[in-house]
Amino acid sequence: MKFIVLAVRRMLSVLDWPLLILLVVMAVVGMATMHSAVGNTDWRFADQLRNFLIAFVAMWAVALMRPSFIMRMAPVLYVAGVLLLVAVMLFGVTSKGATRWLDLGIGRIQPSEMMKIAVPLMLAWYFQRQSSGQFRVADFLVAGVLLLIPAALIIEQPDLGTALLVLASGFCVIYFAGLPFKLLVPVALVVILGLGTLVAYEDQICQPDVDWVVLHDYQKYRVCVLLNPGSDPLGKGFHTIQSMIAVGSGGVYGKGYMQGTQTHLDFIPERTTDFIFAVFAEEFGLYGGVMLLLLYALMVLRGLTITVRAPTQFGRLLGGAMSMMMFVYVFVNIGMVTGVLPVVGVPLPFMSYGGTALMTLGVACGLLMGIGGHQPRSPG
């Protein structure tokens, strides 16, 4: 009996209660919004409830693992993930023009999803192994290669949304490790010049016969539609235009729960997945949107608080990456729903339908809890 009590206490001790409370609130908000968004597909509500339960179990299981064990597993997970990405290129299943899945006979897996966790794990392990703590330019170049290999394989599938999240989470590790500002200046200049050129010469470079080389045609059109949604209002611009109408029609106070006309008249495309924020904003308005953003901000801040208190460099780098990954999820999703960013297929955390994304977020939160809940054993 005493053993059982001690085991239960240990299982509860790893939970970060402020973060857990925020996650439960987000789950309630997410399920309520899903109930309004599903329309005639009630099975999605039940599936999403199951997905939440699985994600919370995964979070708890990961939180019970010691960071030292997770650090030892980092290279294994990274190498396995890269090999699976190569296998996708060679033997992957193609659906809707993208080759992202491996068929294992009993089901399909999407290896690119695991790299959202495996890449920051590997980079945090790499910097932890550099015992001097004073990193050279060569160290950051090696880290960049470790990041670009899986990102390039994911872009090739093509899956720009997942590649963006992998790049963002990996870059956060490199930045928190002390990336010199002088290495960021050339990248920033290239980005600024690229965006300036795109805006200045939009009419010329968005012509159908212009090949962007580095992007597929559908990705090119997404960027061009962002610059001018009205260029194809019933085609490629339909998603952006309808989501912006829904967000704007919510006004300050919203139309009320289950009262969103854009939602229930089926004007919002992908309303249970990528564009669920449009459903929420239409029904709860500006005030509801601000409260939702506040919830996300509290979650990110709690993650960064855990990060600052982490006893090891590995924990600090990994915790920072997991916290900022959640921020990138929210920023990119709401940006594309409101017409600020191109549509790239990034879900809204704990709101969008989907088991894989919820599992990834559950593992990320479990890593944060494990970093905060496990203290290194005292010597002797």
Torsion angles phi and psi, residue 108, rounded to 5? -105, 150
Q: What are phi and psi of 103, to 5 degrees?
A: -95, 115
Q: Residue 379 domain-assigned?
A: no
| 208 in any annotated domain | yes
Q: How far is CA 228 from the centre of its chain?
A: 26
Please tell me the predicted confidence (pLDDT) of residue 262: 86
What count of other Cβ atoms lies within 10 Å of the Cβ of residue 156?
13
Smallest CA-to-CA distance from 80 within 115, 120, 123 is with: 115
User: pTM for the full model?
Assistant: 0.89
Q: CB of 303 within 8 A of CB of 322? A: yes
* Within a domain: 34: yes
DSSP 3-state of 355: helix
Distance of CA 237 to the CA centre of its chain: 24
How crowded is the C-beta side of 221, counted as CA atoms within 13 Å? 14
Both structure tokens of 34: 């899903």
Residue 2 dihedral angles phi and psi, to the nearest 5°: -65, -40
Which residue shows structure tokens 């992957």? 92
CB of 314 within 8 A of CB of 304?
A: no
**Number of structural domains found in the chain:** 1
Residues contacting 183, CB < 8 A, separation 6+: 137, 140
Could you tell me how far CA 238 lies from the centroid of its own chain?
A: 24
Strands 98-103 and 108-109: antiparallel
Residue range(s) defining the domain that contains residue 204: 2-373
Q: Calculate Rg over the CA atoms of the chain.
A: 22
At 282 the pLDDT is: 93
What pLDDT does 159 receive? 84
Residues of the chain with pLDDT under 70: 1-11, 39-41, 96-97, 107, 131-133, 213-214, 230-232, 234-235, 374-380
189 within domain boundaries: yes
pLDDT at 2: 63
Evaluate whether residue 378 is within a structural domain: no
Q: What gap in Å lies between CA 204 and CA 206, rounded to an integer?
A: 6
Is 368 part of any domain? yes
